[in-house]
Amino acid sequence: MKRSLCLLLLPVFFLVGGCAPKQVRVYEALPESRSQIIEYAITLMGKPYKSAAKGPDAFDCSGLVYYVYKRFNVALPYTTEELDRVGVEISRADVLAGDLVFFKIKRAYHMGMMLNGHEFIHASKSRGVAIDKLDLPYWQRSLLRFRRVL
C-alpha cells in the first residue's frame, strides 16, 4: 500500500517541486514552422536595441521580425508600416504564436511577435530583445492590432 501511494505521489512531487526556470508557454499544437520561429526568436533575447538594425548583433522592432522570419525563408518587408499591411488582420481571440502585434506609442509605431495569447517578444529601446505581457496597462493603452503572416 505504501509503495503504490509513493508511486502515485511521485509525479506530483516533480510537477509541484520543480525548480526549473520559467518557461514561456507556447501553444502546444503549433505547426512546426511557427514553433521553430518562436524558439529562434527567444534565443535572441538580450540582444541590444539599435535604430534601423536588422541583426544579428542588434535589432529595432521591425528588424527583429524581419530577421527571424527571413531565417525561415519567409520574405517580409522591413518597416513597421509595411509589415502592418501584409498578411491578414486577426482578432486577439484568434492569435497564435508567431502572429504580429502592433502598437502606437505617442506618435511612433512599435511591433513584436506573439509567443502565446498573452506574451510577445520585441526589441525594446530600454532592454533590447525582451518578452512582455500584453495585458500590462502600458501595452493595452497602445495596442492597435494583430496580423497573421503565416
Q: b/e map of 26-46 (b: 16 or more CB within 10 Å)? A: bbeebeeebbebbeebbebee
Cβ–Cβ < 8 Å for 138, 122: no
Residue 122: active-site member: yes
What's the per-residue H, E or C state across 54-117?
A: ECCCCECHHHHHHHHHHHCCCCCCCCHHHHCCCCEEECHHHCCCCCEEEEEECCEEEEEEECCC
Residue 76 is placed in which grid cell?
A: 517580409
Query: What are 133-136's contacts with CB under 8 Å, separation 24+?
Result: 134/101
Active site residue 110: yes
Q: Which residues are catalytic?
A: 61, 110, 122
